[in-house]
Amino acid sequence: MYDKFVIKVHERDNVATSICNLDRGEVVGIYELQRSDFVGELKLRTSVPKYYKVALQDIKAAPRDLVERLRKYPKDSRDKVIAEVGESLVIKFGEPIGFIINCDVRVGEVVNLSYLLLSDELLSGLYEFYNESYEAFTSSSEEAPVGSIGRIVRDLKINLRAIQLRGLDLPILKKTHLIVNPLLLKVFPGCEVIGSLLTSLRRGTDVIIGNLADLDWFFVVREKEGERKDVVRNYYSLLKHYIDVSIEFMRT
């Protein structure tokens, strides 16, 4: 019997979910809901926070140029995106829920959402910094988990709430690359661009860096005759303008 375990839903799944905070190096049982039984065990290569996903197999990252191409030229259905990113798919509930970007994921590594496709320069620099500067201070004798963007961003505390974009307008977010936050500037003096944003975000949204992209960012539902997408779009455009004007008015 295992003290700690992760939950796998479907036999086809290549990720499982932790139900408590798990540390790197721990060996945990894999409990499959479909069978109501343990189906194996897993040695964790990274820490896995409660309710986060951990890879049960090695999963290759989708090539950077493919992701860039999908971002520029979205497909017209989810199935087409799935066909393009094939072996990078993350499967949970027996169905694809996203695909791996930024870097390959190895079995036992955390899988976490990323709003950013990181630049190659930053990605390689990040590993270098992690291995040389940070890893040297850790007491663990574990092999450095090269390839684990999840662990690096967690250990360096630059994931989740780390990078704030408060005060920036959406059009800026949507069209330009992001400027690094003070923490990353320490790590990479002079670095101006850390990557491309993969989806439009609301003002004030925390930008999460990880290794999993949402399939929904890469396809658009084309309008058919008679559908009134523009009505909705114009309405919310008007609403946003109305709110902005009101805020401006209150300030003055």
Using the contact rule CB under 8 A, the part of the chain among 101-109, 130-138, 179-187, 225-233 near other proteins is: 225-233
Distance CA 28, CA 5 (A): 5
Q: Which of 50, 69, 157, 186 binds other proteins (CB under 8 A)?
A: 50
Is there a contact between 107 and 147 (Cβ–Cβ < 8 Å)?
A: no
Minimum distance between the CB of residue 131 and other proteins, rounded to whole angstroms?
26
Sole window of 55-63, 131-139, 141-149, 213-221 interacting with other proteins (rule: CB under 8 A): 213-221
CB of 206 to other proteins, least distance (A): 7
3-state secondary structure of 201: coil
Residue 244 near other proteins by CB under 8 A: no
Q: Compute φ and ψ for 11, nearest 5 degrees.
A: -60, -25
202 touching other proteins, by CB under 8 A: yes
Continuous segment of H or E residues that includes residue 248:
helix 229-251
The span of 131-139, 143-151, 184-192, 197-205 binding other proteins (CB under 8 A) equals 197-205
Q: Is 172 in the site for other proteins (CB under 8 A)?
A: no
Residues sharing a CB contact under 8 Å with residue 207, sequence separation 6 or more, in sequence order: 115, 116, 163, 164, 165, 178, 197, 201
Contacts by 86-90, CB closer than 8 A, 24 or more apart: 87/59, 87/60, 88/59, 88/60, 88/61, 88/62, 89/14, 89/59, 90/14, 90/15, 90/53, 90/59, 90/212
Q: Which of 11, 19, 124, 186 binds other proteins (CB under 8 A)?
A: 19
| Binds other proteins by CB under 8 A, chosen from 133, 164, 200, 246 | 200
Q: Angle CA(28)–CA(112)–CA(40) in degrees, nearest 5?
A: 20
Smallest Cα–Cα separation from 220: which of 197, 196, 195, 199?
199
Shortest CB 39 distance to other proteins, Å: 12
**Does the footprint of other proteins cover residue 112 (CB under 8 A)?**
yes
Q: Which parts of this chain interact with other proteins (CB under 8 A)?
A: 1, 5, 7, 9, 17, 19, 31, 33, 36-37, 49-53, 77-79, 92-93, 95-98, 111-113, 160, 170, 173-174, 199-203, 205-206, 208, 210, 212, 214-216, 220-221, 223-224, 227, 229-230, 232-233, 235-240, 242
